[in-house]
């Protein structure tokens, strides 16, 4: 995964009023923490951060007053109605360090005919991976699965260097039998 470089400014103002002023200036207040250090309060450019966060588990290289800090987003708060970024918590990571993150699960292929439905029990799979090699998504093949079939976490093929951080018998995907009307329509077609 490529690193996205974003400039950051240390902030000295705190509280609701200061946060509102920062957001009006099209910036986002953030906190950087981890590795036993003191939390650092920063301000990040709103548009750059929004574009970077479109990638799940993005690796950010922050330029904080001349020094680089490698971080991943831990918590992102958005405005409930407008979707604007309100605040971001960032976790410091080091190269070679293993981190636990949730990676989105994608499916490929088609279910067996018969009007069956696919239920995503886990939309994101918790995994442990090296901080600079976090996969963007994990693809699971559902080709030919019939009603009642399940895909367990242990059945998912993970990229090299990635390990499960969830019970191996956890259900990731489950195929549910569709209604008889849907099955009748599919046989008529």
- For 138-154, what is the mean pLDDT? 87
pTM over 0.75: no
Query: 20-40: per-residue pLDDT in tens?
Result: 888 889 999 999 998 888 888
Domain boundaries, the chain: 3-93, 99-188
Strand order through the sheet with 98-108:
138-141, 98-108, 124-130, 163-164
- Other beta carbons less than 10 A from residue 111's beta carbon: 19
Would the CATH topology of 3-93 be identical to that of 99-188?
no
Query: 156-187: per-residue pLDDT in tens?
Result: 888 888 898 889 888 988 888 877 554 455 55
Architecture of domain 99-188: Beta Complex (2.170)
| Cα 92 from Cα 129, distance rounded (Å) | 15
What pLDDT shows up at residue 42? Answer: 92
Query: 46-99: per-residue pLDDT in tens?
Result: 888 888 888 878 888 888 888 888 898 888 888 888 888 889 999 898 888 888
| Cα 76 from Cα 87, distance rounded (Å) | 6
Dihedral of alpha carbons 57, 59, 64, 69, sign: positive
173 near 118, Cβ under 8 Å? Answer: yes
Helix (H, G, I), strand (E, B) or coil at 134: coil
Q: What topology does CATH give the domain 3-93?
A: Ribosomal Protein L25; Chain P (2.40.240)
């Amino acid at each position: 995964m490529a690193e996205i470089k974003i400039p950051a400014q240390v902030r000295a103002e705190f509280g609701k009023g200061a946060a509102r002023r920062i957001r009006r200036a099209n910036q986002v207040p953030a906190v950087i923490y981890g590795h036993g250090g003191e939390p650092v309060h920063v301000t990040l450019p709103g548009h750059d951060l929004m574009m970077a966060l479109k990638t799940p588990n993005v690796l950010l290289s922050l330029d904080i007053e001349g020094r680089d800090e490698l971080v991943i987003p831990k918590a992102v708060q958005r405005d409930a109605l407008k979707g604007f970024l309100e605040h971001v918590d960032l976790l410091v990571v080091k190269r070679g360090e293993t981190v636990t993150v949730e990676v989105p699960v994608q499916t490929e292929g088609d279910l067996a005919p018969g009007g069956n439905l696919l239920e995503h029990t886990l939309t994101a799979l918790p995994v442990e991976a090296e901080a600079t090699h976090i996969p963007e998504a994990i693809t699971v093949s559902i080709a030919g699965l019939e009603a009642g079939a399940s895909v367990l976490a242990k059945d998912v093929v993970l990229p090299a260097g990635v390990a499960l951080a969830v019970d191996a018998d956890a259900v990731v995907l489950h195929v549910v039998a569709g209604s008889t009307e849907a099955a009748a329509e599919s046989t008529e077609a």
